[in-house]
């Protein structure tokens, strides 16, 4: 599976979380990795590439239309990402390190799905402009040890707030800790959200 592995600076990386950077539709692992040092300069970065293509744009799972996801594909790809993480943990000697997924848009959605279905592989997620990735399917296991930061624009047709509401409810009912920040504006990442994500990482248990 093509991916970037960028070890953090020597000597300071052990206590810093490992950042699993997940790109949005049509982007790639290099572009999303540029955000990592803005969030945590000392972190090791893992950045795989979405395995699917939609008219040449890389993605993490199939969709029937914008915001209408192929849930079977979401489930399959979430399992594949969980296996990638388990393999990367042993390949890069990351046992005992906290791994935090940082996803944008389609990358946020696969991060959320992976954490909902495979909390033993991934239990920390920062989701920029994400939404409920598994409409109609609830989290299958307890998420009592899991922590989520949901960052959304109030006016984002690609991640509508009713879907984010449903996501928040599903996560909380499964026992997860959820922080949710809504800012004015649409799809993407605002400077204020980068600051919020940085603070969340610093205060993470």
Q: Which residues bind ligand MLT (CB under 6 A)?
A: 24-25, 63, 66-67, 105-106, 109, 158
Between 119 and 130, name the residue whose CB sits nearer to ligand MLT.
130
Rounded CA gap, 17 and 188, in Å?
23
Q: Smallest distance, Å, CB 5 to ligand MLT?
A: 24
Rounded CA gap, 197 and 162, in Å?
22
Between 6 and 166, name the residue whose CB sits nearer to ligand MLT.
166
Q: Smallest distance, Å, CB 187 to ligand MLT?
A: 8
Q: Quote helix, strand, coil % in the chain, to nearest 5.
A: 35, 25, 45
Q: Smallest distance, Å, CB 191 to ligand MLT?
A: 21
Between 5 and 51, name the residue whose CB sits nearer to ligand MLT.
51
Q: What is the CA radius of gyration of the chain?
A: 15
Asked whether 75 and 113 are in contact (CB, 8 A), the reply is: yes
- Which pair of tokens denotes residue 144? 């009592």
Between 66 and 93, name the residue whose CB sits nearer to ligand MLT.
66
Report which residue's Cβ sits closest to ligand MLT. 106
Q: Smallest distance, Å, CB 189 to ligand MLT?
A: 13
Q: Smallest distance, Å, CB 117 to ligand MLT?
A: 16
Rounded CA gap, 72 and 82, in Å?
15
Q: E strands along 9-82, which residues?
A: 18-22, 45-48, 52-54, 57-59, 63-65, 68-69
Between 53 and 142, name the residue whose CB sits nearer to ligand MLT.
53
């Amino acid at each position: 599976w093509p991916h970037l592995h960028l070890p953090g600076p020597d000597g300071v990386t052990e206590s810093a979380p490992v950042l699993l950077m997940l790109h949005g539709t049509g982007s790639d692992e290099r572009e999303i990795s540029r955000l990592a040092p803005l969030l945590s300069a000392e972190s090791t970065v893992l950045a795989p590439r979405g395995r699917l293509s939609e008219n040449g744009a890389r993605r993490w799972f199939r969709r029937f239309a914008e915001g209408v996801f192929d849930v079977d594909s979401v489930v399959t790809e979430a399992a594949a990402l969980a296996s990638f993480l388990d393999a990367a943990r042993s390949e890069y000697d990351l046992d005992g390190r906290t791994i935090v997924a940082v996803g944008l848009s389609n990358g946020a959605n696969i991060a959320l799905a992976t954490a909902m279905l495979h909390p033993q592989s991934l239990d920390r997620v920062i989701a920029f402009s994400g939404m409920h990735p598994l409409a109609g399917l609830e989290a299958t296991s307890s998420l009592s040890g899991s922590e989520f930061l949901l960052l959304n624009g109030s006016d984002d047709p690609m991640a509508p707030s009713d879907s984010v509401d449903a996501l928040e409810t599903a996560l909380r009912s499964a026992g997860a800790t959820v922080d949710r920040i809504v800012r004015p504006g649409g799809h993407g990442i605002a400077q204020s959200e980068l600051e919020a994500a940085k603070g969340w990482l610093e205060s993470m248990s």
